[in-house]
Amino acid sequence: GITPMDVSRVIVTNQIVHQNLGDLLGHLSHGNRYAVLNNHLSLNNPSGFYTFLYDDSGSGEFLNSVHTDGPGSLNDFIGEEGAGLWLLTMVDNSPGQTGLVQQLSIRLEPNPDLTLGVVGSVLPGRFRYYSVNVPPDATNLTVTLAQMTGALDLYLRRGALPTLADYDKMAAIDPPGGSLSLGIYDSPPLTAGRYYIGVCLLYTSDAADE
Each of the 210 residues of the chain gets a pLDDT tens digit; together they read 899 999 999 999 999 999 988 899 999 999 999 999 999 887 666 788 999 999 999 888 898 999 999 999 999 999 899 999 999 999 998 888 899 999 999 999 999 888 888 898 898 989 999 999 999 999 999 999 999 999 999 999 999 999 999 999 999 999 999 999 999 999 999 999 999 999 999 854 455 566
Nearest to 46 by CA among 75, 14, 20: 20
Q: Residue 209: beta bridge partners?
A: 121
* Stated pTM of the model: 0.84
Distance CA 197, CA 2 (A): 27
Contact predicate 178/150, CB 8 Å: no
Q: Which residues fall within 8 angstroms of residue 90, CB to CB, at 6 or more apart?
A: 16, 24, 25, 26, 27, 101
The amino acid at 6:
D
The amino acid at 11:
I
Count of beta carbons in the 10 Å neighbourhood of residue 91: 10
Contact predicate 112/166, CB 8 Å: no
Q: How far is CA 111 from the centre of its chain?
A: 11
The amino acid at 127:
F
Omega prior to 189 cis, within 30 of 0: no
Nearest to 126 by CA among 60, 53, 173: 60
